[in-house]
Amino acid sequence: MAFRLYEGADHTSVYAKYRSVWTTDITDRVLTYLQEKFPAPYMYDHAIDVGCGSGQFTHLLAPHFKQVTGIDISANQISAAIKGNDKKNITYKVGSGECFSIADQSVELVTCVQAAHWIDMDKFYAEAYRVLKPNGCVALISFTFPEFGAHPQAKLLTKPLGNYYDKLWETSCPAEMINRLKHVYNRYPDEIFACRPPLEDHLRDETMTIVHDMTVEQVVGFASSSSGYVKYVKKYSSSDILETLQKNILKTLGEDATLDTVVRVTFPVFILFGRKPG
């Protein structure tokens, strides 16, 4: 079953505002893997970023490739990506993660960031194999539930945030959607997400994190960018679940806390690599 959860213009703009968490450490890790079989100096031709959203990760690839293409099934995500794009070598287009409109053997890298759990992996990997040049790589990248620090009470934020996500899932997400979201929390189990032959050299990297200092306002905004929240507000249009979350966060941090209070948010990252034989 396909899920079309990122279609509304309102949600897309919230997503663009609060989900730009990716850093160059992660692109550097991906390039290190790619360079094992494409030793420097090598000018890469083309990378594609499948399920690119509004370009959160795509733009970080631009300095390393002559051409980068971001593909997403949601027309609204793609218009937000085009609007925010300041890189001449990036093209964004509406398309499917199961059937890429990209020429055979034309790219060195296929990334799929925070999106693989929405895509049919057998079809995705068949397409990745088709479009990759020999020795080209695929990388599924995601982060999972964050840890909080820096503020004396920040560690306790796991509870209100956890309760918020549990409520979204329990009250408004169909079982199939919950199963897919659970794959993220289970860090993309190999039996579903590892690359299929003839792609080879499956490698899992769980060593990296992304760290951001975020205000309480940004943490609540981040929580509102979840696909579960979209489902929830569709069902309960006059819901105050976000106000409740904000109140609980402020209460947890103590009476001096405001929307501008800063906490350190550490997202554990996991990457699943695969390679086309040379």
Tell me the closest approach of the beta carbon of residue 27 to ligand SAM, in angstroms: 12
Select the residue interacting with ligand SAM from 56, 69, 172, 224 (CB under 6 A).
Answer: 56
Stretch that binds ligand SAM, among 107-115, 171-179, 197-205, 260-268 (CB under 6 A): 107-115
Which residue type sits at 99? C
Site for ligand SAM in 73-92 (CB under 6 A): 73-74, 77
**Of residues 59, 4, 2, the one with CA closest to residue 231:** 4
Report the nearest approach of ligand SAM to the CB of residue 6 (Å): 4
Beta carbon of residue 166, minimum distance to ligand SAM (angstroms, whole number):
19
Is position 118 an interface residue for ligand SAM (rule: CB under 6 A)?
A: yes
User: Is residue 19 close enough to count as binding ligand SAM by CB under 6 A?
Assistant: yes
Instruction: Check binding of 72 to ligand SAM (CB under 6 A).
Output: yes
CB atoms near residue 179 (< 10 Å): 11
Binding site residues, ligand SAM, CB under 6 A? 2, 6, 19, 51-53, 56-57, 72-74, 77, 96-98, 113-115, 118-119
